[in-house]
Amino acid sequence: MTEASLGKRAPEAYLARLKAARANAYVPYSAHPVAALLVTDSGEVFCSCNVETAHFKSVCAEAGAISALISAGEKRIREVWILGPGPKPCPPCGDCRQRIHEFADDHTRIHLVDETGRIMSSSGVADLLPEAFGGP
Ligand SMILES: [Zn+2]
């Protein structure tokens, strides 16, 4: 958590999109709905939820949002906002930390928010994935 993010909240528009996406999460096996919202350098916003299937090769919310970002021709993530199902922060899994790293830089911030949009944690990619493998 950085000092600059202490006590801050997600923009209302981001929180509304996160809540709407999370409400559509397809999570019949884990009952753990998550939404992730990405903001690019150009200000474009991409949001997704997690989707589970019976063979347990689920798609994380972050992965879905990154696919949408790449499909739209974007390449850089400026901000990541994640809303989980409960009062605790919902950090990205190991796979998603690597995915975020691929399209992030030293200025990218990953914000974990609660129901009210309060930022509970704000990290850089290097904080979440030290000594990361590869990437451009
Ligand atoms: Zn993940």
- pLDDT, position 2: 56
Distance, CA 95 to ligand 1 centroid (Å)? 5
Annotation marks residue 115 as catalytic:
no
pLDDT at 136 over 80: no
Average pLDDT over residues 42-59: 95
Distance, CA 57 to ligand 1 centroid (Å)? 11
Catalytic residue (choose from 12, 44, 52, 62): 62
Distance, CA 63 to ligand 1 centroid (Å)? 6
Q: Where are the domains of the chain?
A: 3-128
Task: Report the distance separating Cα 128 and Cα 103, nearest Å.
Answer: 14
Distance, CA 43 to ligand 1 centroid (Å)? 23
- Angle among Cα 93, 97, 101 to the nearest 5 degrees reads 170
Average pLDDT over residues 51-68: 96
Query: Which helix (DSSP H) or strand (DSSP E) does residue 126 occupy?
Result: helix 125-128
pLDDT at 39 over 90: yes
CB 81 within 8 A of CB 36: yes
- pLDDT, position 7: 74
- pLDDT, position 56: 86
CB 38 within 8 A of CB 69: yes
Q: What is the pLDDT of residues 99-113, one digit of tens each?
A: 999 999 999 999 999
- pLDDT, position 1: 52
Distance, CA 97 to ligand 1 centroid (Å)? 7
Ion ligand 1 residues within 5 Å by Cβ: 60, 93, 96
pLDDT at 81 over 90: yes
Average pLDDT over residues 47-54: 97
Task: Report the distance separating Cα 81 and Cα 67, nearest Å.
Answer: 16
CB 100 within 8 A of CB 62: yes
- pLDDT, position 134: 84
pLDDT at 79 over 80: yes
Q: Identify the CATH class of 3-128.
A: alpha beta
DSSP state of 28: T
